[in-house]
Amino acid sequence: MKWSFKQHSVIPGFSLALGFTVLYLSLVVLIPLSTIFIKTAGLSWVQFWETISSPRVLASFRLSFGASFIAALVNTLFGLLVAWVLVRYRFPGKGLVDALVDLPFALPTAVGGIALTTIYAENGLLGSLLARVGIKAAFTPLGIVIALTFIGLPFVVRTVQPVLQELDAEMEEASACLGATRLQTFCRVILPTLLPALLTGFALAFARALGEYGSVVFISGNMPMKTEILPLMIMTKLEQFDFAGATAIAVVMLVASFVFLLLINLLQWWSARREA
């Protein structure tokens, strides 16, 4: 039998559609990203290493990865709670709450950043309350975590919600019939079913937080060695016309993003294999 790419279909246009897809992805994604590697290749290994291991860059690596991790963790916990409330309970204004979840998606991130800074600044609405107990939110790593939590919330909620919706209520009833307590039912029956979705949501929120710029630069204060995030480091290098240095940091972030994409796909493959 002759092997062929083409499969019989009632809708024609396989060659045209595939050709356009490849061209489109190349123009929009592949070519711009590959220039980062080409530009970085202008540096020698030593220069590359020096750029990414300078104390200031290292500090921002730690900050960006650390804050993103904490924010994604917080989002996983509270995103699950929000999704649970939205799926399991009926209450007035539910539609509004559901829509609110998407707000961080829709809002220009700079608007979010300014709003958060205003509220969490020492003379702001929440900032003044926090200041009273001795916590400084704006212009500290805590502020960065808050901003990253804000922009990452929809990811966990929107990945967990459909899975929770499809969760068979009978499975919980079966668990109770077999003598499991509510906590046991949650930990042994519900959580394992939600785990792939939770991990996917976590990875998405983490990846998004890593690259976030707009909402963070206002609340972080951008103090060298203290509150400079990675995207800001790239901006700074660019402003100093250190293009190779900027792309070196970009390469590291790009590789990190790839690793995360790979992890997400592995997760989905793993959970699909078990339930297929």
Partner 1 sequence: MSIQVQHITKQFGDFAALDGINLEIPTGELVALLGPSGSGKTTLLRIIAGLETADGGNILFHGSDATTQSVRERNIGFVFQHYALFRHMTVFENIAFGLRVRPRKLRPPKQEIADRVHELLRLVQLEGLAKRYPAQLSGGQRQRVALARALAVEPTVLLLDEPFGALDAQVRVELRRWLRRLHDELKITGVFVTHDQEEALEVADRVVVMNRGRIEQVGTPTEVYDQPASPFVYNFLGNVNLFHGRVHDGKIEIDSAAHAGVTVGDRDTAATVGYVRAHDLDVDRVAKDVSSMAAVVRHIHAVGSSVRIDLTLQVSNEPAEAQISRERHEELSLSVGEQVFVTPRRVKFFGDYQI
Q: How far apart are CA 47 and CA 45, in angstroms?
A: 6
Q: How far apart are CA 149 and CA 112, in angstroms?
A: 12
User: Tokens for 203?
Assistant: 């990875």
The residue (of 140 and 185) whose beta carbon lies closer to partner 1 is 185
CA distances from 91 to 82, 95, 100, 159, 165 (A): 13, 9, 15, 22, 16
175 binds partner 1 (CB under 8 A): yes
User: Tokens for 104?
Assistant: 């961080």
> Per-residue contact track with partner 1, 190 to 219, x per CB under 8 A?
--xx--------------------------
CB of 195 to partner 1, least distance (A): 8
166 binds partner 1 (CB under 8 A): no
Which range touches partner 1 (CB under 8 A), out of 48-56, 101-109, 156-164, 176-184? 176-184
Q: How far apart are CA 5 and CA 194, in angstroms?
A: 37
Among 26, 53, 128, 184, binds partner 1 (CB under 8 A): 184
CB of 77 to partner 1, least distance (A): 21
Secondary structure of residue 259 in the 3-state scheme:
helix
176 binds partner 1 (CB under 8 A): yes
Q: How far apart are CA 274 and CA 253, in angstroms?
A: 32
162 binds partner 1 (CB under 8 A): no
DSSP run (H or E) holding 29:
none
CB atoms within 10 A of CB 7: 6
Among 18, 129, 171, 255, binds partner 1 (CB under 8 A): 171
178 binds partner 1 (CB under 8 A): yes
Torsion sign, CA atoms 50, 39, 259, 200: positive
Among 95, 177, 239, 241, binds partner 1 (CB under 8 A): 177
41 binds partner 1 (CB under 8 A): no
Note the residue count of the chain. 276
174 binds partner 1 (CB under 8 A): yes
By rule CB under 8 A, what count of residues binds partner 1? 20
Select from 125, 153, 118 the least CA-distant residue to 139.
118
168 binds partner 1 (CB under 8 A): yes
The residue (of 117 and 175) whose beta carbon lies closer to partner 1 is 175
The residue (of 15 and 181) whose beta carbon lies closer to partner 1 is 181
Amino acid at 225: M
189 binds partner 1 (CB under 8 A): yes
The residue (of 77 and 176) whose beta carbon lies closer to partner 1 is 176
180 binds partner 1 (CB under 8 A): yes
In the DSSP assignment, the letter for residue 185 is: I
CB of 164 to partner 1, least distance (A): 14
| Residue 78, phi then psi, degrees to nearest 5 | -80, -25
What does the binding site for partner 1 look like in residue numbers (CB under 8 A)? 168, 170-171, 173-181, 184, 188-189, 192-193, 274-276
